[in-house]
Amino acid sequence: MSDCSSDATALGTAPAATEEVQSKVEESDMAQESPKNSAAEIPVTSNGEVDDSHEHGYHRDLKRSLPSGLGLSETQITSHGFDSTKEGVIEAGASQGPSAPPLPSVLSPSRVAASQLAQPGGDLTVPAGGQRTHTKGGPVILADEIKNPAMEKLELVRKWSLNTYKCTRQIISEKLGRGSRTVDLELEAQIDILRDNKKKYENILKLAQTLATQLFQMVHTQKQLGDAFADLSLKSLELHEEFGYNADTQKLLAKNGETLLGAINFFIASVNTLVNKTIEDTLMTVKQYENARIEYDAYRTDLEELNLGPRDANTLPKIEQSQHLFQIHKEKYDKMRSDVSVKLKFLEENKVKVLRNQLVLFHSAVAAYFAGNQKQLELTLKQFHVKLKTPGVDAPSWLEEQ
């Protein structure tokens, strides 16, 4: 009987112990799931702000659920919100005592920082130490704009086309007798004389070259004739002296002819330099002066046409621009006219000096040659520092030696 009662008592206490163990397990599971549920649910007030009351309740329940015998030095709890980040430290030891003073909050990266980084008006810098520095930024302004070479070329082509059109219209108007042209009578007369003199000098140069060619052929023939006479004087005993005299005469004439040919070639070289270099350079400046004159008249005519028209808000900027371009081409025209006047003056002085010496040389050399005065001919060449041309070597001109 006693055995049966003891067994019944043991059977009655067993379910009670089992229920107690199950209740402890459920409480432990609830304690573990409580942070997750609390972190997943974020209450919001009617004003759209985060309600912190539930969060404080969550920390309080968590402290209660932690057993005192875990031996943890500290437990870190982090809660996340929509617009802020809070991080707190709760110290727990073997025995619970008064709570320690709260540590200073430390900011960690959040969505707010990411949104601030995405804003174009500011730059956010996070150093390695964890502190944030917010610096103001602004748009980047380039000091100098990058120029497009293609646009510059198109602009140059446009200006060149417009200038060419105006000049062509001016030339056609002058030829048809409709347009007016600016004329400097004194300067135009000097230019006409220069062009006429150039044609005459070119004719003299051509004739002198023809004379030099013919004289060269005659000298060459005289050399051959002298060699033939010398050969016959050796083979014909009866006419030895006669052939010998003629051979010596032809050789002397050939030698004097070479001396005269050297003087003529020197004359040709000097006149050629004067005509094809000095005068040609001056005429190139004259050509630039004439182009400047055409541009000046073209822009002058354009300005006159605009001044005759109405003056309103649309035409005034065009008139000012035309006045500016007219002033630029007027200055260019005046400068080129001054340059032409100076070059014509120096050309006239140089031409007189060069031609005087060359004409005296030519006259003295030809007179001494046909007079048979070999010494006078050689003296003339020395007087003018003329060196006889060596075969295969081009002698420098007189102007080049100077």
| DSSP codes, 59-89 | HHHHHHHS-TTS--SEEEEEEE-SS-EEEEE
pLDDT score, position 395: 55
Domain extent listing, the chain: 180-401
Q: How many Å is the maximal CA-CA distance in the chain?
A: 198
Successive 10-residue mean pLDDT values, the chain, 402 residues: 44 48 54 46 50 55 53 43 42 44 47 49 44 47 62 88 86 85 89 94 94 94 92 86 89 90 92 93 93 90 85 85 89 93 92 90 90 84 70 52 52
pLDDT score, position 32: 52
pTM exceeds 0.85? no
pLDDT score, position 399: 53
pLDDT score, position 52: 53
In Å, how far are 54, 133, 258 from 48, measured between CA atoms?
15, 29, 120
pLDDT score, position 179: 79
Query: Under CATH, which number does the domain 180-401 receive?
Result: 1.20.1270.60
Beta strands 74-80 and 133-136, pairing class = unpaired
135 pairs with which residues across the strands? 123
pLDDT score, position 388: 64
